[in-house]
Amino acid sequence: MLAILAPGQGAQTPGLLTPWLDVPRIADLLNWWSAVVDLDLVHLGTKAGADEIKDTAIAQPLIVAAGLAAAATLLPDDDPHAVLDNLPHHIAAVAGHSVGELTASAVAGVLPVEAALVLVRERGRAMARAASLRDTGMTAILGGDPAAVQAKLAEHGLTAANMNGAGQIVAAGTIDDLAALAADPPEGARLRPLAVAGAFHTAYMASAVDRLRELTAGMPVGEPHTRLLSNADGTVVQHGRDVINRLVQQVAAPVRWDRCMETLGALGVTAVIELPPAGTLTGLIRRALPGVETLALKTPDDIPAAQELLERHRHELEPSMAPSWRLLVAPIAGTLERAALDLGTQVTAGTVLGRVVAKREAAEIVTAHDAVIVEWLAENGDPISPGQPIVRLHPRADEVFA
């Protein structure tokens, strides 16, 4: 099983788009996307220096555009005017870190590309405005006992804004509180201040959440074509509107990339490809999931190797993921409590088909569309893994039970 990953802010480097301009169609796409985000992406991705692309309002659209340009090259559509309209069936899951969730959502089919770019433009601007209200920042903490690190952050009034796994936690808060942490670090840990403009994924971003909630109310939304993981808790998100709501809330909530990696492991993912600007997430995967094959897609020269990896792992995805059917999957691990609905039952949007019950939580399995139950893929009382298929639906009963 193969997953596509998209990195977050801080991964950008000067000149990251330069090699992609020689790929047919990419320069034209970037010129069009520049108009959408109201930034000269070609200049920013080829000639701008590190200080210029550090600006949140610039970095976020640039990162998403780079990821989407590479995805359009790796996963070309039959229609030369389309971008990412048909995700290959053999991609088992998609996940993004922080702003990379917007890239992942577009790759998974939840957001049209232009909608993702509008959203990242407004997200970057709103987060930059929120950051300007208070002198805040972020510091990576490498190593140390996780519980001791968390205790030290609480002692200094800081938030664990990113739980990245593989021995990495990112602290966020005021500059004064970060300075106090630097003077009194957790035992056995190394600290590395990050070149970001504010305390992202904390309560300091509340005003940005308000702006994005207002903006996304009328946004066009599709359903995920494959498993799409959420930074909030690592769960597989089944419905497009739920994805959007989580994207908005995530701006002021901690990124749980550690849980995303746990879900990738539980799904049985055996290989990942990281979209540009690549390298950060594959490094974390190698430490947290050492048996998983990784490929950092940095330039077009990496495309042949990425396509070969896709081909080698294509047979490992369940045939039931084909997009002609609607497949509902478990959002968390636990025990299945299945609704008493027979095959052939016509259900309407919003129908609860069951729930997965864990020790500390339960999550409902709800259909977002009118459909007919074609096949139950798990039985009542079965132990369930996150992302495991539960029920297969079809939009029309007459096509499968005629």
Give catalytic residue positions.
98, 201
In this structure, the dihedral spanned by the alpha carbons of residues 54, 55, 60 and 64, taken in order and rounded to 10 degrees, is -50
Burial class (CB in 10 A: 0-12, 13-18, 19+), 16: buried
Q: Residue 393 forms beta bridges with which residues?
A: 326, 373
**N-to-C CA span, the chain:** 34
| Cα–Cα nearest to 147, from 162, 156, 161, 160 | 160
Q: Which tokens sit at 207?
A: 């005003």
Nearest by Cα to 92 from 312, 280, 313, 311: 313
Residue 377: CB atoms within 10 Å: 16
Long-range contacts of 27-31 (CB under 8 A, 24+ apart): 29/69, 29/72, 29/83, 30/65, 30/69
> Would strands 383-384 and 346-347 be described as parallel, antiparallel, or unpaired?
unpaired
Strands 91-96 and 227-229 turn out to be parallel
Cα–Cα distance measured from residue 68 to residue 65, given in angstroms and rounded to the nearest whole number: 5
CA torsion sign, 84 to 90 to 92 to 97?
negative
Say how far apart CA 359 and CA 13 lie, in whole Å: 43
Alpha carbon 236 to its chain's center: 10
144 conformational bin, left if phi > 0, alpha if psi -120 to 50, beta if neither? left
Q: Where are the alpha helices (DSSP H) in 133-199?
A: 146-155, 175-183
Rg (CA), the chain: 21
